[in-house]
A and B are shown apart, each in its own frame.
Chain A
Amino acid sequence: MLILNCPYCSVDAEETELTPGGEAHLKRFGPGSSDADFEGYLFQRENPKGVHFERWRHANGCGKWFHAARCTVTLEVFGTYSAQTTEPPKNLQKTISKKRPGWSWREFS
């Protein structure tokens, strides 16, 4: 069972209190973009074995969206952070580097 700490209300919320929101930090390509970019935005997703970044919503709690970094192999949670960002916070990336040297996820590593 996944337990994530909601960065907005600091509650340790259990998986059943949350709604998954898919992959984090997607960049939208809308009207006017190339077909390849649009296809990538719609369909191309990471499917990592290891470090992964996701969006979650504290649906049965404060109702806020937030981000979580976790390991898809061990289910270890590296941390959660605010939704108002386009990339994982630097100190969280450092924490992950300590625990999983050599990790990479999209352009981050």
Chain B
Amino acid sequence: MSNLISQANAPFEGYVTVSADAPMGMLTLRGDLSSKPFITALKKSVSTDLPSACQITHDEKMSVAWMSPDELLILTPYDQVAGLQAKLQKALGKKHFLLADVSDARVSFTVSGDKVREVIAKLAPVDLAPDHFAPGMFRRTRFGQISAAFWLLSETEARVICFRSVAEFMFNQLSAAARPGSEVDLWS
């Protein structure tokens, strides 16, 4: 496992807490998600429900996020990714698809605290009002200048993923947005 830049950072305690997560297993799956045989084969090895557009589904073993009309991102614990990949490969057989272990491509951050919506809204051009963005939704967007994606685990906890090459920038800008004294009190 590569030495993670973000892991070197201690969590930032601002008016929300920003912390780098332990490495997470990630699989990219591309294929025709509107094809019934494809979905049937997929359901054999994916335990969660398949997400509809801009959604993420979870269970104890994995999360499945909708990345685009033909792409899913499957999140698992880091040590289980090889097993799941083999299982999916077998289940999908000769269908037309692409399956790649991209665990080391992205890093994940957890932002937690009462005002987590507000901190994300400072960086991403997304309407985070509670009636517009709810836990269970998944949004690919930009944070400052970099591409990223995020979802809410609850009203007080969000997860943000971005490419490893910009991990430090992401940590720094999340920390800056969470600096004590910079509260906006939008939705409290």
A: residues with CB less than 8 A from B are 8-14, 16-17, 59-64
Contacts and interface: CB of A to CB of B under 8 A. Distances in A.
A62 B68 CA distance: 5
Given A10-B53, A16-B142, A63 B125 contact: no
B141 interface: yes
18 contacts: A9-B68, A10-B53, A10-B54, A11-B54, A11-B139, A12-B127, A14-B125, A16-B125, A17-B125, A17-B141, A17-B142, A60-B140, A60-B141, A60-B142, A61-B140, A61-B141, A62-B68, A64-B68
A9 B142 contact: no
Given A14-B125, A17-B125, A64-B68, A9 B54 contact: yes
Contacts of A59: 147
Contacts of A62: 67-69, 140
A64 B147 contact: no
A81 to B, nearest CB: 15
A9 B55 CA distance: 10
Given A12-B127, A17-B141, 17 more contacts: A8-B68, A8-B69, A9-B54, A9-B68, A9-B69, A10-B53, A11-B139, A13-B125, A14-B125, A16-B125, A17-B142, A60-B140, A60-B141, A60-B147, A62-B67, A62-B69, A64-B69
Interface of B: 53-54, 67-69, 125, 127, 139-142, 147
Contacts of B68: 8-9, 62-64
B105 to A, nearest CB: 15
Nearest to A60: B142
A10 B127 CA distance: 14
Contacts of A14: 125
Nearest to B146: A60
A62 B73 CA distance: 12
A90 to B, nearest CB: 23
A9 B53 CA distance: 6
Nearest to B140: A61
A70 to B, nearest CB: 19
Nearest to B139: A11
Contacts of A64: 68-69
Q: Which 9 A-B pairs have the closest CB atoms?
A: A62-B68, A60-B142, A14-B125, A61-B140, A60-B147, A8-B69, A63-B68, A9-B54, A60-B141
A60 B69 CA distance: 15
B158 to A, nearest CB: 17
Nearest to B54: A9
B36 to A, nearest CB: 20
A62 B53 CA distance: 10
Contacts of B54: 9-11
Contacts of A16: 125, 142
Contacts of B142: 16-17, 60
